[in-house]
Structure 1
């Protein structure tokens, strides 16, 4: 018995060391990215001016007198992400409830691989299908000169965040102890009442984590959005061509230089801070609920 324990302890020490190193490396990468973005992004903000940069409404980085106002990009990213969450979260949540608690096993076995397949489709494929199918359909349906718009971007983003929301929410719902549901059913509640009044509240932290992943995917997407949103630096309007924070960086970085390039790093810094604020706010909210 003692020999077995002596064999296990070195293995435990080795695994603890491996986990510590992996965690340390992850922290180092986050710190490195943060420091790099701060060093690269602050010079442009100092030269342009924080107020003019964040609240300026005109972006003309290649003009004779360049202007670097990113308010249209910020508002477009906020509107697009909120629209995608409003459309994607209810659909994803209800699908997760269906797969975890309602669907027959045979049907769930068919639907679940389809959801996993959605997660494996590259962003450029979503963008290509949106550009070839969705954009012409929107142009024809609403009689627009160009269908590439914020509306198309919201639809594409809503579809792209579904796999994350469904998979994580379903896992959280399945992790609810069966005793909770059995007690509810024993008290006379129906199956649906049990699901929404017992299982869902018990899995709320996991469902919230799914929403966080969905928000991160929506904010960080670039390739698909370039193909369906029009990529024009307009103030956001549902049926006009727009540019997101991510697409502003992706579309100009290849040929940018000087102040323009520094301004693109500043946009990346703003996006990074934006994502960090959302994560901190949601994590704080979850901790308060647990408390």
Structure 2
């Protein structure tokens, strides 16, 4: 009888323990999600409140900010407004990002196709560790290599100092290569095996199958990889700052010094006083970067939603 009673007691207590553990797990999950949402809202509120201060408290002009060609927030214009023309900085960021994506994307797609369709064993044993190594290299190392190798090479090959958009583009292309390659590998590997077999059964060659079946099926995933790479390139600061020249002028040549949003931010934030026009103007640049990050995220989600509907 005692044994039977103990078994009944164990049967009753086991569900209660499972329910308590389940409730505890749900509680921890909700707390983690709540902290994440709270941190996101706090960061967004801080950047937005600081980013609009130059327009609310320092008489800055929104039109001049997005269309002006001179960046000198510490100096007042004839109308008593800070000179905050950020168009050269925004243009420099977009040019460097687009050029690095154009250079890097074909290389990344080719490497992904080779590692998944042509030589998977060699790709996994040799190329994949190389890609992981490139991801782990700090930005300052890329910048130092660009400063020691890329800039002197451009200086000797072309006229100019070597600093400029071309140097920043080359450095960023190498930096975002592993990101786009890794995501492209995942997109190509997710294509069902049955599509490959069906293509081969119809008499298609390997290259016809890759071009007409695999790449077209993985198109949305490949676009997502490119967007993620562009997002990293747009937000990169230290490496670009070391090789681009940091001259806040409208870019007219790939070989002339220019600047980006991130390079001006990293250079000026430590030398300004909180609340002054120079500091508020830098916060406005940070707000532009945050909005661009949201834009990239929206594009990724839109591509994913479009793929699910298809």
TM-score with structure 1 length normalisation? 0.91
Computed over aligned residues only, the root mean square deviation of the Cα atoms, in angstroms, reads: 2.3
Q: CA deviation at 1:86?
A: 0.6
Unaligned runs of 5+ in 1: none
User: 2:140 is paired with a residue of what secondary structure?
Assistant: helix
Aligned to 2:64: 52
> CA 1:22 to 1:133, structure 2 compared with 1: closer, same or farther past 3 Å?
same
- 1:39 paired with 2:49, answer yes
Q: CA deviation at 1:157?
A: 0.7
- 1:147 paired with 2:162, answer yes
Between 1:17-26 and 1:47-56, the stretch displaced more is 17-26
Aligned to 1:181: 196
Aligned to 2:238: 223
- 1:26 paired with 2:36, answer yes
Q: CA deviation at 1:19?
A: 4.0
Aligned to 1:255: 271
**Whole-angstrom CA distance in 2 between matches of 1:107 and 1:174:** 13
Equivalences for 1:154-173 in 2 at 5 Å?
A: 154-173=169-188
Correspondent of 1:191 among 206, 225, 229? 206
User: 2:37 is paired with a residue of what secondary structure?
Assistant: helix
Between 1:175-184 and 1:31-40, the stretch displaced more is 175-184
**Whole-angstrom CA distance in 2 between matches of 1:44 and 1:210:** 35
Q: CA deviation at 1:285?
A: 3.9
Verify the 8 A CA contact 1:165 1:211 in the aligned structure 2: yes
User: 1:238 is paired with a residue of what secondary structure?
Assistant: coil
- 1:200 paired with 2:234, answer no
Verify the 8 A CA contact 2:241 2:263 in the aligned structure 1: yes
Between 1:15-24 and 1:248-257, the stretch displaced more is 15-24
User: 1:230 is paired with a residue of what secondary structure?
Assistant: coil
> CA 1:185 to 1:6, structure 2 compared with 1: closer, same or farther past 3 Å?
farther
User: 2:52 is paired with a residue of what secondary structure?
Assistant: helix
**Whole-angstrom CA distance in 1 between matches of 2:213 and 2:300:** 22
Verify the 8 A CA contact 1:230 1:241 in the aligned structure 2: yes
User: 1:101 is paired with a residue of what secondary structure?
Assistant: helix
Correspondent of 2:140 among 124, 136, 147? 124
Q: CA deviation at 1:178?
A: 1.3
Verify the 8 A CA contact 1:137 1:147 in the aligned structure 2: yes
**Whole-angstrom CA distance in 1 between matches of 2:193 and 2:14:** 36
User: 1:239 is paired with a residue of what secondary structure?
Assistant: coil
Unaligned runs of 5+ in 2: 1-10
Which deviations, in whole Å up to 9, do the C-alpha atoms of 1:85-114 show, x marking residues without a partner?
111111111111111111151354111111
**Whole-angstrom CA distance in 2 between matches of 1:53 and 1:44:** 10
- 1:100 paired with 2:116, answer yes
**Whole-angstrom CA distance in 1 between matches of 2:237 and 2:111:** 26
Which deviations, in whole Å up to 9, do the C-alpha atoms of 1:237-270 show, x marking residues without a partner?
3111111001111100111121100110011001
